[in-house]
Amino acid sequence: MPRWALYGAQTARAVENYAISGERAAPALIAAYGWLKWAMAQANRDFDLLPEKVAGAIAAAAREVAEHQLDEHFPVDVFQAGAGVSLHMNVNEVVANRAHELLGGQRGHYEFVHPNDHVNRGQSTNDTFPTALRVALRMELDALLPVLQHCQRAFAAKGRQFDRIVKAGRTHLQDAVPLRLGQEFAAYATALGAARAEIARAADVLLELGLGGSAAGTGLNTDPRVAPRALRYLRQATGHRWRQAHDLCAAMQSQFPIAMASAALRNLALELIRICNDLRLLASGPMTGLREIELPALQPGSSIMPGKVNPVMPEMLTMVAFQVVGNDAATALAVQAGQLELNVMMPAMAYATLRSGRLFTAAIAAFTKHCVIGIRARPERCAAYAQSTMALATALTPALGYSRTAKLVQQSLNTGRPVLDLALEQNLLPEPQLRELLDPARAAGNARAPATGARAGLRGPRDAPAAKRAANSPRAVSAGRRSRAPAPNKS
C-alpha cells in the first residue's frame, strides 16, 4: 500500500484480489458516497451518536470526497466483491484517514476516527450502496436531460425551418406519398421528447432510498431517527427531494428503479439509432444516394478517396447507442439475479448504468452541436423526388378507385411517363382536378411542426424546477468534474 494513499488494508486487499478490468468506480458513484457519508456524519452528531469533533472531521473529509478532491484514492476495480463491499470500505477508509489527518492524527492510525465504528456508524453496505447508486444515477440523468432537451429543440427547429419543403415519403424503403421534410424532422423531435419524458419519470423513481435499512433492511444497529435526518441534509446539498422507502426490506431486495432507469436509457438508444440511420440515408450520395439533406462536413476525405465526406457524427452516436443497449442487457441480468434479502450484483448495475448516462451526455451534446444544428436541406432534390414518386397516384383512388389507379401506376412504371401525363391523355378526370389531386404539396397535408414546450416533453423531472436543479445540484457528481457544491444550511 503506497504511503501517500488514504485507503487502508481492506482496499489494498481488494486491489490485489480484483485486478480485473483496470476501470475504477464512476466519479458519480464516488461523489454520491461522499455526500452520503457527509449527511450521515451530521445526522449522527445531531443525536449525539458521534462526538462533535469526530463528526465534523468526518463530514469535512466526506465533502472532499463528494467534490472530487480525493478521487485518486479510490483504486478498487468496478468488478469486485458482491454488493459493493470493497468500494464501500474504500470510502470508509479514505474518509477515516482524511478525518484523522484533519484532527491532527496520522494516516493508518484510527485512534480518533475508525472506518467502521465512526464513518460507518449505523450503516451497512446493504443500504448504503444501493442508496449511493440511486443518488449517482439520478445525478447522471440530471446532466443528460438538458442535453437531450437541447437536441430535441434542435430537431424541432429544423422541423420549422424545413416545413415548406415537400419530398417523397418512403415506406418499406419504397416510394410512398409525399410529405414535408419539416414533418419528418418534427417527428424526430417528438420521439426524443417522449424518450426524455420516460427518463424523467425514471429519475423521479430513483428518489426513494433504502437508507436506514442496514443489514437486510432490518435496521439493525441503527437509530431510526438518523436516516430521515440524513436525508434532510442530502436534500439540502443536492436540491432533490430524497425520501426513505416505506419498505426497507424491499429496497434491499429489489433494484427495480435501476432497471427502470436503464430501460429508459435503452429506449432512448433505440430512437437515436433509428434517427441516425435516417440521417445517413437522407444524406447518402452525393451522386448515387438520396442526398435530400446535407450534414456538416466535419472530416472531409477518407483514407483513400479524396473529397469523400462521411456522416461521422451519426455513426458515432449510433455506436454509443449500441453500447447503451448492451449496458441495459447487463443491467437487466444483474437486476434479476438478486436472491432473498439482497441483490449482490449492484456493482455491475453501477458500472453499466452510470456509464450509459455519461456516454449519452457527452455523445448527444457533440451530435447536436456538430451535426443537427448544421443540417441543410436540398429543396430541389426533395421536389424532384416528390414529383416523381408513383405513390402520388394514391390521391386519385377516391375518384378512380384502387384498381384503375393501380393500372395507371403500372403504366407509368412500364413507360417511364408521369402519372399526370397518362391520366390527362386518357381523360380520366378534368385537367384542373387532376393537377390539384396530384400536387405533391397538397398530398403532404396541412399539419405543421408541433410546438415545443412542456406538452412536447420538454419539462424536467417533477421534483424540482430546472433552474433550481442547475443551481443546487453538484454537477461534479454527474460529469466527474471538480466543482464546489453550495454550502448546505444547518438544520
Find the DSSP H helices in 125-225. 125-161, 181-205
| Residue 283, C-beta contacts closer than 8 angstroms, at least 6 positions apart | 289, 290, 291, 292, 293, 294, 295, 311
The mean predicted confidence, pLDDT, of the chain is 91
| The three grid cell numbers given for residue 353, joined into one nine-digit string | 448504468
- Residue 120's CB is within 10 A of a number of other CB atoms, namely 20
pLDDT of residue 484: 37
Tens-place pLDDT, residues 400-443 = 999 999 999 999 999 988 899 999 999 999 999 999 999 998 88
Q: What are phi and psi of 385, to 5 degrees?
A: -65, -40
Tens-place pLDDT, residues 442-458 = 888 765 555 544 444 44
Q: Determine the average pLDDT of the residues in 465-479.
A: 43
- Residue 236's CB is within 10 A of a number of other CB atoms, namely 17
Rounded CA separation 243/481 (Å): 27
Tens-place pLDDT, residues 109-120 = 898 999 999 999
Tens-place pLDDT, residues 287-302 = 999 999 999 999 877 7
Active site residue 412: no
**pLDDT surpasses 90 at 307:** no
Which domains does the chain show, CATH number per domain?
9-121 (1.10.275.10), 134-213+244-379 (1.20.200.10), 389-438 (1.10.40)
Lowest mean pLDDT across 167-181, 200-214, 267-281, 446-460: 446-460
Helix, coil or strand: residue 317 = helix
Rounded CA separation 371/366 (Å): 8
Tens-place pLDDT, residues 141-164 = 999 999 999 999 999 999 999 999
DSSP-derived secondary structure for 435-485: HHHT-HHHHT-S--PPPPSGGGT----TTS-HHHHHHHS-HHHHH----PP
CB 259 within 8 A of CB 338: no
Tens-place pLDDT, residues 248-283 = 999 999 999 999 999 999 999 999 999 999 999 999
Tens-place pLDDT, residues 232-246 = 999 999 999 999 999
Among residues 181, 187, 184, which one has the least CA distance to residue 383?
181
Q: Specify the amino acid at residue 442.
A: R
| Residue 432, C-beta contacts closer than 8 angstroms, at least 6 positions apart | none
pLDDT of residue 459: 47
Residue 133: which pLDDT band, with cuts at 50, 70 and 90?
A: very high
- Residue 91's CB is within 10 A of a number of other CB atoms, namely 31
Q: Determine the average pLDDT of the residues in 190-200.
A: 98
pLDDT of residue 469: 47
Rounded CA separation 220/122 (Å): 8
Place of cell 437509530: 223
Say what percent of the chain tops pLDDT 90. 82
DSSP state of 246: S
Among residues 314, 257, 254, which one has the least CA distance to residue 282?
314
Burial class (CB in 10 A: 0-12, 13-18, 19+), 173: exposed
pLDDT of residue 170: 96
**pLDDT surpasses 70 at 337:** yes
Q: Determine the average pLDDT of the residues in 337-344.
A: 94
* Integer angstrom CA distances of residue 318 from 71, 111, 273, 480: 31, 54, 5, 24
- Residue 79's CB is within 10 A of a number of other CB atoms, namely 13
Task: Indicate whether this model's pTM tops 0.75.
Answer: yes
Q: Determine the average pLDDT of the residues in 179-190.
A: 98
Helix 125-161 and helix 85-102, axial crossing angle in degrees, nearest 10 = 100
pLDDT of residue 303: 82
Q: Which one of 302, 388, 403, 412 is the catalytic residue? A: 302
Tens-place pLDDT, residues 34-84 = 999 999 999 999 999 999 999 999 999 999 999 999 999 999 999 999 999
Helix 125-161 and helix 346-370, axial crossing angle in degrees, nearest 10 = 20
Q: How far apart are the first and last CA of the chain?
A: 40
pLDDT of residue 1: 74
pLDDT of residue 306: 82
Residue 324: which pLDDT band, with cuts at 50, 70 and 90?
A: very high
